[in-house]
């Protein structure tokens, strides 16, 4: 007599093999999605930091004069209308406040970067009016990711 079909033991063994293969695949895809999510967060953090750095550089490079400076703050004048007068909308300040990088122009403050754990500035001169080069180290975190960016910015229009 010919035997058709599968025995119960064969079905149980095949189901166990499929469960093992399924578990391995789920683990693989789960790890892949965790890595993708982590890299997406890290990329988003980098883009956010680079955007804040670009704004800082665009404001500082044409600066005519550094009014005051500190290890985590700077106040400077950019003569945007070329009249050699410090108008309120031409005075910029950057500082660290409650874990945020704050940009202030004409008395209006705006957080341009959140999650800042370090904003360190150093200068090529101890006198604010003689500063020509600003070195910046900026560290920000998002979730478990942390990123540090360093840059040096040469003031183009400071003639002192």
For the segment 9-37, what is each residue's pLDDT rounded down to a tens digit? 888 999 999 999 999 999 988 988 888 88
H helices, E strands: number in the chain: 1, 8
Q: How many other C-beta atoms lie within 10 A of the C-beta of residue 15?
A: 10
Whether this model's pTM surpasses 0.85: no
SS3 category, 78: coil
For the segment 104-131, what is each residue's pLDDT rounded down to a tens digit? 999 999 999 999 999 999 999 999 888 9
């Amino acid at each position: 007599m010919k035997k058709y079909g599968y025995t119960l033991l064969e079905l149980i063994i095949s189901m166990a093999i499929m469960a093992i293969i399924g578990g391995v695949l789920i683990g693989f895809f789960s790890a892949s999605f965790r890595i993708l999510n982590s890299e997406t967060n890290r990329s988003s953090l980098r883009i956010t930091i680079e955007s804040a750095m670009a704004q800082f550089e665009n404001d500082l490079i044409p600066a005519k004069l550094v009014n005051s400076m500190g290890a985590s703050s700077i106040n400077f004048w950019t003569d945007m209308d070329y009249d050699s007068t410090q108008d309120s909308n031409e005075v910029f300040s950057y500082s660290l406040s409650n874990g945020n990088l704050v940009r202030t122009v004409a008395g209006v403050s705006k957080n341009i970067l959140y999650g800042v754990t370090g904003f360190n500035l150093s200068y090529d001169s101890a006198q604010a009016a003689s500063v020509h080069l600003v070195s910046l180290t900026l560290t920000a975190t998002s979730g478990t990711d942390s990123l540090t960016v360093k840059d040096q910015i040469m003031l183009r229009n400071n003639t002192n």
